[in-house]
Amino acid sequence: MKRVTKSVHEGIPNTLPVIPTMDVVVFPNMIVPLLVLDTKIIRGINQALETEHKHILLLASKKQATSLHSTIGTKDLYTSGTVASIMRLIKIPDGGVKILVQGHSKVSVQAMSTENDLLTAQVTPIKPMTVSNADIATQIKNIKHIVEKMSLNGKGLSPDFHAIIAKMHDAEKIADFILSHLNLSVEKAQALLEIDNFCDFLNEIYMHLSKECDISDMQERIKNQARDSMNQSQKEFYLREQLKAIKKELGEEDHDEVEQFRTKLTELAMSAESKAEVLRQINRLEKTSPDSMEATVLRNYLECVTTLPWGKETTDNLDLTHAREILDADHYGMDEIKERILDFISIKILKKDGYAPILCLYGPPGTGKTSLGVSIARSLGREHFRVSLGGVKDEAEIRGHRRTYVGAMPGRFIQGLRKAQSHNPVIIIDELDKIGVDFRGDPSAAMLEVLDSQQNKTFHDNYLGIPFDLSKCIFIATANSLETISEPLRDRMEIIELSSYTFEEKIQIAQRHLIHKAQRETGLSEYDLQFTDDIIMSLINDYTREAGVRELERIIKKLCSKVTRAIVQNGQVPQFTANILERYLGPRRFSQEGRDKNNQIGICNALAWTSVGGQILKIEAVVMPGKGKLLLTGQLGAVMRESAQAAMSYARSHAQEFSIEQKMFTNYDLHIHVPAGGIPKDGPSAGITMLTSILSALTQRPVNANCAMTGELNLRGNIMPIGGIKEKILAAKRNGFQNVFLPEKNKHDVAGLEKLLEGINLIWVEHANDVLNHVLLPA
Ligand SMILES: Nc1ncnc2c1ncn2[C@@H]1O[C@H](COP(=O)(O)OP(=O)(O)OP(=O)(O)O)[C@@H](O)[C@H]1O
Ligand SMILES: [Mg+2]
């Protein structure tokens, strides 16, 4: 293709009147209408009209037009432009003119002048663009392709634009045509104008087109996205409306949940302030979108609040004989606590709103604390639930989470009340002594509010946010020891001790309760099993070692299930004999502790008290050549070691009384050992026993093996009181000791234990000598 280079510069004078153009760059061959208002320019136009070719120079302005009348200096004009001829001129009323010009050829400006009130420029022609054949055809093809794409999208260009281009073949005309339709900024258009290579020129046009194409693609994408999301919500709304209409037609219109909450609220017996608060939450629910997270949280909350037993209570069965019957049917003994419950019922009979007790039952495991709580509820005809606090470290377990947490829940008390559906249940607070503390707060401090009859009228749960009355509940806390329960918490409760069961009590409990229960549970109710006292005694002595009866209950159940199996397999009830016990329950687990019948040197029996009841501890002492050291072994705790040292010092200071030579303390070592060596032991109550062992070893006088003792020793030899008297006497009895030495100051602890004391000789002592004179036999 060859560009026609007809003599474009023919007849172009050196000096031409100038028309500055704003916002547009006129290219050769382009026909453009212009509006001129400036008189100086109009004068130039008039001059040009008088020449043959009516040539003028069009120069684009670098400055953007701010108003129709904005003035431009010569410096603001580009220095290359297009010569054009004026095709038509129309005068407009306010002195301006409208002209139609056609671009001709490019020139560059040498100089400009504004003399004689005329804007003129001296110009030199620019050579027309050089046209090299290379690549023009490909470029035209690319351009046509992109134009087609744009037209098809209906973006940027008019729809018939590509049809016109498709019919054109002349590269120059195509370029001109596109140019006149492109939306170019003045700088870009001017840059295009100044290109002198046709190939580069086409390339530049192509770049512009593709950029425009990209932009319109992107716009389209964004628009589509917006439209899609809008359509989705519109669709949802539309479908919901339809669903509502369909339900209405079917008569299934579900009443607005918000309305439901509102009507429920009016029925609840809660204070006006609480109602206002709940109503506020209902109003909030109404305003939130039903599918939002917040609505779910609010709905759960309202569900919880409206299903709590506000003011709902069960009527108590206020019949004293009935209550007594039920309490006795479930548990043997436990008189103190049973009396306490009967007191409560009596108060209720006389005074409807009498206070509810807060009790704390403490004692060794398996003594029936938890199960008694259940049976109290039964005797009163109240609902009950259990809150186990063992290992609870998070305050929120008691007081609930704030609702801002995801998955927030009310505390255990509110949850329990919701299930119990009554606001006066029996609440069994289990394992109160095993409550923990960590960074999530102090649950035992939170319990103070629950267990205070003054404060729990308005118990505040973080989740509920409104107070709930716990004062009608009967609280029964259980614990194994009181030491780990904080002082203020202890202060809020009536403490009732359940001590270990004696041998006789265990037999009674087994005969009256455990055996029937086990028979019921193993399908043996109909059968008569020969659980004689001897059998039970054997079960207690040979298979269990505990303060309570849990293990005994388990072993009886095990025996019953073996019997059931025998009946199923052989069709007959087996006779209980010692052999059968061994066969069913395995070899005896505990051989009779028994006691050493021989009086020995340096060995003395102490009575100890552990969580599973009383026990016998043998304290052993030996002397051996050495340097006067005291060795202590057998996992003794700090208090026990100190009491050994105190005993040693007492022995040393009273050596003369016992005819012990001083060299015994300098040339010999003394070793005290307390088996079993693997079990940790502690406490001061073995003080007097250690002294006896030490003196026996030093004097080589044997100790009376028929004696057991307990008591703390001070340096003056006084014997101080200790704990666990009942358990210790039980252990002594079990092991066949006839003489038991106990601190005089503990005498009041055995009041009411007359039955237990049968067959045992208690010797109350105040001073070490009272013991030593008795138990140390002549050498
Ligand atoms: N005096 C009793 N009469 C009848 N059954 C009893 C008696 N004491 C305990 N039991 C029975 O012993 C079992 C264990 O009792 P429970 O679980 O109440 O012990 P606990 O004192 O709560 O022990 P822990 O301190 O380990 O929690 C229960 O089945 C209970 O019925
Ligand atoms: Mg318990």
Round to whole Å and give the CA distance between 288 and 298: 9
With a 6 Å cutoff on the Cβ, whether 480 touches ligand 1 is yes
Biggest alpha carbon distance in the chain? 161
Asked if 90 and 139 sit in the same domain, the reply is no
Among the candidates 585, 618, 650, a domain finishes at 585
Q: How confident is the model at residue 593 (pLDDT cuts 50, 70, 90)?
A: low
Among the candidates 306, 341, 371, a domain finishes at 306
| Encoded amino acid at 654, one letter | H
Ligand 1, atom nearest to 371 Cα: 18
Q: Is residue 244 part of a domain?
A: no
With a 6 Å cutoff on the Cβ, whether 509 touches ligand 1 is yes
321-350 tens-digit pLDDT: 999 999 999 999 888 888 988 888 888 888
Question: CATH no. for residue 645?
Answer: 3.30.230.10
Q: Which residue(s) pair with 35 in the sheet? A: 98
With a 6 Å cutoff on the Cβ, whether 190 touches ligand 1 is no
Asked if 517 and 560 sit in the same domain, the reply is yes
In the chain, the number of structural domains is 6
Structural tokens at position 774: 């008795």
Mean pLDDT of 519-529: 88
Question: CATH no. for residue 111?
Answer: 2.30.130.40
Could you tell me the distance, in angstroms and rounded to a whole number, from the CA of residue 433 to the centre of ligand 2? 11
Q: Is residue 223 part of a domain?
A: no
Q: How confident is the model at residue 594 (pLDDT cuts 50, 70, 90)?
A: low
Asked if 174 and 261 sit in the same domain, the reply is no
Mean pLDDT of 395-414: 88
> According to the model, what pLDDT value does residue 156 have?
58
Asked if 331 and 410 sit in the same domain, the reply is yes
Asked if 711 and 687 sit in the same domain, the reply is yes
Q: Which of 461, 382, 451 is nearest to 414 (CA)?
A: 461
Asked if 63 and 14 sit in the same domain, the reply is yes
471-493 tens-digit pLDDT: 989 999 999 888 888 899 999 99
Structural tokens at position 249: 């037609």
Could you tell me the distance, in angstroms and rounded to a whole number, from the CA of residue 548 to the centre of ligand 1? 7
268-323 tens-digit pLDDT: 998 999 999 999 999 888 888 777 788 888 989 999 999 999 989 898 888 899 99
> According to the model, what pLDDT value does residue 7 have?
47
Residue with tokens 């009411």: 752
Q: Is residue 591 part of a domain?
A: no
Asked if 475 and 561 sit in the same domain, the reply is no
Among the candidates 449, 468, 497, a domain finishes at 497
Ligand 1, atom nearest to 430 Cα: 27
Pairing of strands 55-60, 80-91: antiparallel
- From atom 15 of ligand 1, which residue's Cα is the shortest distance away? 368
- From atom 27 of ligand 1, which residue's Cα is the shortest distance away? 365
Q: Is residue 247 part of a domain?
A: no
With a 6 Å cutoff on the Cβ, whether 370 touches ligand 1 is yes
Round to whole Å and give the CA distance between 644 and 662: 19
Asked if 291 and 376 sit in the same domain, the reply is no
Could you tell me the distance, in angstroms and rounded to a whole number, from the CA of residue 553 to the centre of ligand 1? 9
> According to the model, what pLDDT value does residue 6 have?
43
Question: CATH no. for residue 332?
Answer: 3.40.50.300
Q: Is residue 421 part of a domain?
A: yes
Please tell me whether residue 743 adopts helix, strand or coil conformation. Answer: strand
Helix runs in 592-711, H state only: 638-653, 663-666, 687-699
Round to whole Å and give the CA distance between 709 and 498: 24
Q: By the 8 A CB rule, do 435 and 392 touch?
A: yes
With a 6 Å cutoff on the Cβ, whether 81 touches ligand 1 is no
Question: CATH no. for residue 178?
Answer: 1.20.58
Would residue 444 show up in a list of annotated catalytic residues for this protein? Answer: no
Catalytic residue among 685, 693, 696, 726: 685
- What mean pLDDT, rounded, does the chain reach? 85
Chain CA centroid to CA 48, Å: 89
Q: Residue 326: what are its φ and ψ, rounded to 5°?
A: -65, -45
Q: Is residue 243 part of a domain?
A: no
Asked if 138 and 120 sit in the same domain, the reply is no
Ligand 1, atom nearest to 479 Cα: 25
With a 6 Å cutoff on the Cβ, whether 61 touches ligand 1 is no
653-680 tens-digit pLDDT: 998 888 888 888 888 999 999 887 666 7
Round to whole Å and give the CA distance between 147 and 140: 10
pTM: 0.60
With a 6 Å cutoff on the Cβ, whether 410 touches ligand 1 is no
Ligand 1, atom nearest to 431 Cα: 27
Q: Is residue 312 part of a domain?
A: no
Query: pLDDT: is 133 or 309 the higher one?
Result: 309
Query: pLDDT: is 702 or 438 the higher one?
Result: 702
Asked if 622 and 739 sit in the same domain, the reply is yes
Q: By the 8 A CB rule, do 59 and 18 touch?
A: yes
Could you tell me the distance, in angstroms and rounded to a whole number, from the CA of residue 433 to the centre of ligand 1? 17
Q: By the 8 A CB rule, do 754 and 762 touch?
A: no
With a 6 Å cutoff on the Cβ, whether 550 touches ligand 1 is yes
Q: Is residue 65 part of a domain?
A: yes
Would residue 108 show up in a list of annotated catalytic residues for this protein? Answer: no
Round to whole Å and give the CA distance between 535 and 521: 20
Could you tell me the distance, in angstroms and rounded to a whole number, from the CA of residue 550 to the centre of ligand 2? 10
Could you tell me the distance, in angstroms and rounded to a whole number, from the CA of residue 394 to the centre of ligand 1? 28
Round to whole Å and give the CA distance between 434 and 390: 5
- Which bound ligand lies closest to the C-alpha atom of 548? 1
Asked if 118 and 169 sit in the same domain, the reply is no
Asked if 627 and 574 sit in the same domain, the reply is no
Range of the domain at 542: 503-585
